Amino acid sequence: MPPTMLPAPATDNDGVDVESKESNDDKSKESNDDKFKESNDDHLLQDDFEEEEEDDDEEEEFVDDNDDDDDYEPAPKKRKAPKAPSKASAKKPKKRASVKAKKTATKKTKVAGGSKKKPRKTGGGKSMCGNPQECMLVGLVKMETYGIKSASLDHVALFANYTNKDSLGSKKAIKALTQDGMVDVSDGMMRLTECGRNSVTTVPPVVNQAEALERLQEIVKLFCGSKANKSDFILEQLGNGQKYAKKALGSICGYANVDSLGFKSVLAILKELGLLEDTEAIMLNDKAFPCGRPSGSASAEK
């Protein structure tokens, strides 16, 4: 029996087996499908991963927002208004300084020989002896050294360094002294009372003519001011108790012209104080020598 002949496999135009080719195509298609599936799976995984990262970022941002809350400062609480003090705790108002000064003005200090009233302070001109009232009292006591019992208000004001007796400070001081009974004022002149005289303890009595002359020089220089810068020389010459012709005295004291303002001012003050003899010759009277005239000098008393 002859062998059965199998039909030859079909081939395409290139001589390639058609079945083999179809088998290879199927395998290639399956391989591509697998790759496409794997690619899709990778994309899905990638998408899931990105979504997870976005969720993590949102969580981190939410945490950061919560952290910012730590810096938040609450609004300050309103303070309660202080309670009004009770009547028991309320302080009494302070008394005025003027009332206190008025009380201390009449305060008396016990000293040997009785009580002494202190003069009030009113402020005013600058001075070396204290307040204006004290300076006025001290000046009046010094003038009594030469038997001068009263002084013009112009001179009294100069003791307190007031150049004008009508200034507000000078008038206040004079008024205070008068009201306190320290002085008596009449016809533009002031004199000490016994109370005012006893209130001054800083002016000791002079013990010799040198001290008396020094005190007189102080008074004359104060009253003349800057007009007489040579008043000390004039009083030194007249302090010997001798008589001088006007020209001779002026020449000794350095005044070439006896009609100069400085020379005339000193002589005018001495005459106003009643210490210069009213004669052609210039000579101090006995009032200017409370400790006695120098020996060998003539008395100028009439």
Share of the chain above pLDDT 70, in %: 55
Cβ(143)–Cβ(219) below 8 Å: yes
- Give residue 110's pLDDT: 42
- Give residue 280's pLDDT: 78
- Give residue 245's pLDDT: 93
Return the bridge partners of 190, or none.
Answer: 151, 185
Alpha helices in the chain (DSSP H): 18-68, 97-105, 132-143, 153-159, 168-179, 194-198, 209-224, 231-238, 246-252, 261-272
**Which residues, given as ranges, of the chain have pLDDT below 50?**
16, 18, 57-70, 99, 105-115, 120-128, 300-302
Show Cβ contacts of residue 301 under 8 Å, excluding neighbours closer than 6 positions: 285, 286
Cα–Cα distance for residue pair 271/266, rounded to 1 Å: 9
- Give residue 225's pLDDT: 84
Closest C-alpha among 230, 241, 227, 232 to residue 281: 241
- Give residue 41's pLDDT: 54
Return the bridge partners of 163, or none.
Answer: none
CA dihedral angle for residue 32, residue 37, residue 39, residue 40, rounded to 10 degrees:
140
Average pLDDT, the chain: 74
> Position 55: which residue type?
D
State pTM to two decimals.
0.57
- Give residue 227's pLDDT: 73
Cα–Cα distance for residue pair 91/109, rounded to 1 Å: 32
Q: What is the pLDDT of residues 129-168, one digit of tens each?
A: 678 999 999 999 999 999 999 999 999 999 999 999 999 9
